[in-house]
Amino acid sequence: MTMPPLHRPKPSQNGLRIGADFAQLLKATAPLPEIVTAVVHPCNETALEGAMAARDHGLITPVLVGPEARIRAAAEAAGRDLGGIEIVPSLHSHDSARQAVKLVHEGRVQALMKGALHTDEIMAEVVDRTRGLRTERRMSHAFVLDVPSYPKPLMITDAAINIFPDLTTKADIIQNAIGLCHALGVAAPRVALLSAVETITPKIPSTVEAGALCKMADRGQITGALLDGPLAFDNAISREAALAKGIVSEVAGEADILVAPDMESGNMIAKQLIYLAGADCAGIVLGARVPVMLTSRADGTLARIVSAALAQLLAHHKQGRSIL
């Protein structure tokens, strides 16, 4: 038996197969100037090519931070000419992360892009209490997904940094994601606080926290969005499922942001959408002094390009230069 296609075909843009949501996002970046970006340890072909492709799309001006011989070997493997591109030498991956964060403090770069190193290595420097990039808000990660079966970009948070966030941390996670939505032109994003059920159930702590977070929004402790929860995944993204359960909500079925109860569930949701629903994804760290493009070492060029687009839009939005 022949199975029907799972998702709509993706048109090609500069050799990339890209969905409608991400194509629109990249189009929106066209009037904005590139942001100077420290590419941390781009010491393999995939990481180096992703940074160069983001440059080719007019998103970043890369500053390559890593052992120079390894960077040049990666460039040769990728068939890339590094003429005119600054290289800041380092000893190894830990040193690459430290040197990149130092460039932020010196005012030489506006963003960071993860290359061929572990997430823990770059984030250890970013969150360091003395030399890192902390702000008054807890840092968090957001996946932005182009899901073929969903009519708009879908954000999932936090799926990479905060393992078991408490109530205060969840408030920061939500506010960070709202800020990114504003940078993407969504003036009043709809935020669904996920759990297994739609009613507050004391035996399920995430439902109690969802209720508290909604009340925090009512009292102005979380601003700039519509919040509702607890909501199960189905009624967060399906209006029909919400109506079938008698849920009356401005968020149900139309969520822009899905807030996971913990990192494990958020990561699973995102990867299920990527591998089973054909979604494309990008990733970014929010709440630091500058945007941090945080992609998996297994991610391809598209994920790195769109992550760079998110960082560019966010950086210019903070400067009051967003054109969305």
Query: Is domain 15-134 given the CATH code 3.30.2140.20 in the classification?
Result: no
Per-residue model confidence as pLDDT tens digits over 206-263? 999 999 999 999 999 999 999 999 999 999 999 999 999 999 999 999 999 999 999 9
H or E element: which one contains 270?
A: helix 263-276
The region that residue 27 occupies, defined by phi over 0 for left and psi between -120 and 50 for alpha, beta otherwise, is alpha
Q: What are phi and psi of 319, to 5 degrees?
A: -90, 5
Q: Is 238 exposed, middle or buried (0-12, 13-18, 19+ CB in 10 A)?
A: middle
What does the longest C-alpha to C-alpha distance in the chain come to? 62
Q: What's residue 6's pLDDT?
A: 40
For residues 110 and 290, is the Cβ–Cβ distance under 8 A? Answer: yes
Q: Is 316 helix (H, G, I), strand (E, B) or coil?
A: helix
For residues 184 and 250, is the Cβ–Cβ distance under 8 A? Answer: no
Q: What's residue 1's pLDDT?
A: 34
Query: Is domain 137-287 given the CATH code 3.40.718.10 in the classification?
Result: yes
Q: What's residue 316's pLDDT?
A: 93
Q: What's residue 14's pLDDT?
A: 52
Segment-wise mean pLDDT, segments of 10 residues, the chain, 324 residues: 40 64 92 96 94 96 97 95 96 96 97 94 95 95 96 96 97 98 96 96 97 97 97 95 93 97 96 94 96 84 94 90 48
Q: Do domains 15-134 and 137-287 have the same CATH topology?
A: yes
Where along the chain do its domains lie? 15-134, 137-287
Measured CA to CA in angstroms, residue 213 lies from 195, 201, 249 at distances of: 13, 15, 16
Contacts of 103 (CB under 8 A, 6+ apart): 38, 63, 65, 88, 109
